Amino acid sequence: MKILFTADIHIGRRSSRLPGSADSARHSCAAVWSRIVDHAIAEQVDLVLASGDLVDEANRFLEAIGPLERGLQRLREVGIETVAVSGNHDHEVLPAIADQIGEGGLRLLGRRGRWERYTFENRSGERVHLDGWSFPRGRVEESPLASYAPLFPDNAPVLALLHADVDSPGSSFAPVASVEMRRFPGVLFLLGHIHRTRGINEPGGARFLYAGSPQAMDPGETGAHGAWILEFGAAGNSVRHLPLSTVRYETIEVDIGGVSRPEDAQGRLHGALREHLEEIAGQSGPLELVRYRPRITGATRFPRLIEEKLAGSDETLEVPSGRLTGTVEVLHFAMKPERDLEALAAGVGAPAVLARLLLSPDNLPPALRDELRRKVNEIHSSTVFVEVSGVEVSGGEAKGGEADEADPAGSDDSASRTTAMDAELMRAAAVLLEELLGQKVA
């Protein structure tokens, strides 16, 4: 039994946040669906399974039904069945499309939030039990597993298709704890919702796999994106990732420590991108464009000059490597002064205060620290700073998913905002310290 598993295709979504010239149909969510179909046919799978958010929103019916139906027809022509559940984005539009196309094209399981089983048998007589639960509305505060009671009538695998938010208590998108999944050791949960893939061997033994979105759509969704090929058989079971995205987002650390001239930092940045591109080239599939958020670290005497030299690389730098092109989306500076901070901190005056701050923001009197944070926030309450704060929010490991669905009023957000503010404070302090000490000498 061979299965292609996907989720979160979001056909109809437009905001890819790519630079103007790159924002073409090739990088669209409809195009990745077409690549999924190509691979399903080439791999000769028995089934395509999709765990929700195939379509972006209710008002995408007209533009989504064409590409979706074309793909489903191609699959049906070669005898591949497609089984899906709906997610929070397509709870309304996917049932409508399924009704329009008919059950032979797309089998939608678990309507109205009620678990439903479909037992599929392939031409060789191998069976798999598919349990599905669909979002009945845009928000669901309860765990769908509360009403899940799977049956095990034979030795065939039991797969549960579900769009859910794992280990995110209080979520409005079907919160499920991994401990709940552990109560069903005979079930492999095939999940949608979080756009970064997360998988199967969680500590504690929950068996689940987030497909991840096949096309990378947001800078917070770093790493490889694609679909999965699952095989079940007498010879054993296997799981394999299939890279399908044309775009990839990466954060990368670039250490400029020890550069003797500011302009050498440009070579360091270029080299770091080229090295990473070479590293991922072998497992990149149709990948074309890698968007980097480099974090510039290391100890230096001229942080301000290096910032000046690297400024603008987000618009100008292009690193070619085979079929791949690396570009910079936004730079983060986190350089440290090449100084004995402990010695400076023991002194008096502005350099001592800055050195103490650089050793740890907690070294400052709380009132002064709050005042500094307030100032930094004022200066950087521009879109640039929002960008900086956004990284901390959407790049978090626990969430790592749909930035557009993170809770903006949550306490995590204010904590990461403080972290981003401290990072900005440290950056400013490092630059200022070198300026002050530079003036002293001159």
Residue 135 vs 302, nearer CB to Mn ion: 135
> Among 87, 144, 212, 298, which residue interacts with Mn ion (rule: CB under 5 A)?
87
Under rule CB under 5 A, residue 53 binds Mn ion: yes
Task: Tell me how far CA of residue 253 lies from CA of 222, 225, 294, 339, 392, in angstroms.
Answer: 14, 21, 6, 21, 15
Asked if 356 interacts with Mn ion (CB under 5 A), we say no
Running DSSP on this structure, what letter comes out for residue 347? Answer: S
Residues 6+ positions from 282 with CB-CB distance below 8 Å: none
Cα dihedral value 320, 322, 324, 329, nearest 10: -20
Segment contacting Mn ion by CB under 5 A, of 87-95, 345-353, 375-383, 406-414:
87-95
Which CB sits closer to Mn ion, 80 or 162? 162
- Nearer Cβ to Mn ion, position 144 or 294? 144
Strands 289-300 and 318-321: unpaired
Could you tell me the smallest distance in angstroms from the CB atom of residue 313 to Mn ion? 34
DSSP alpha helix (H) spans, 203-319: 264-280, 303-310, 313-316
Q: Does 51 bind Mn ion (CB under 5 A)?
A: no
Q: C-beta of 419: minimal distance to Mn ion in Å?
A: 26
225 binds Mn ion (CB under 5 A): no
Q: Which is nearer to Mn ion, 245 or 300 (CB)?
A: 245
* Interaction of residue 56 with Mn ion, rule CB under 5 A: no
88 binds Mn ion (CB under 5 A): yes
- Residue 7: count other Cβ atoms within 10 Å of its Cβ: 32
Query: Quick one: which segment of 46-54, 210-218, 255-263, 280-288 binds Mn ion (CB under 5 A)?
Result: 46-54
Give the Cβ contact number of residue 427 at 10 Å.
20
Q: Does 262 bind Mn ion (CB under 5 A)?
A: no
Q: How far is the CB of 164 from Mn ion (least distance, A)?
A: 9
- Rule CB under 5 A: say whether 196 interacts with Mn ion: no
CB-CB contact of 195 with 221 (8 Å)? yes
Q: Does 165 bind Mn ion (CB under 5 A)?
A: no
Binding mask 92-131 for Mn ion (x = CB under 5 A): ----------------------------------------
* Residue located via tokens 């980097």: 292
In this chain, which stretch among 81-89, 183-191, 220-228, 296-304 interacts with Mn ion, using CB under 5 A? 81-89
Q: What's the CA angle centered on 337, arms 333 and 343, to 5 degrees?
A: 150
Looking at the Cβ atoms of 9 and 433, the one nearer to Mn ion is: 9
Contact of 243 with 288, CB cutoff 8 Å: no
Residues 371-400 that bind Mn ion (CB under 5 A): none
The phi-psi region of residue 79 (left if phi > 0; otherwise alpha if psi is between -120 and 50; otherwise beta) is: left
- Residues forming contacts to Mn ion in the complex (CB under 5 A) are 53, 87-88, 193
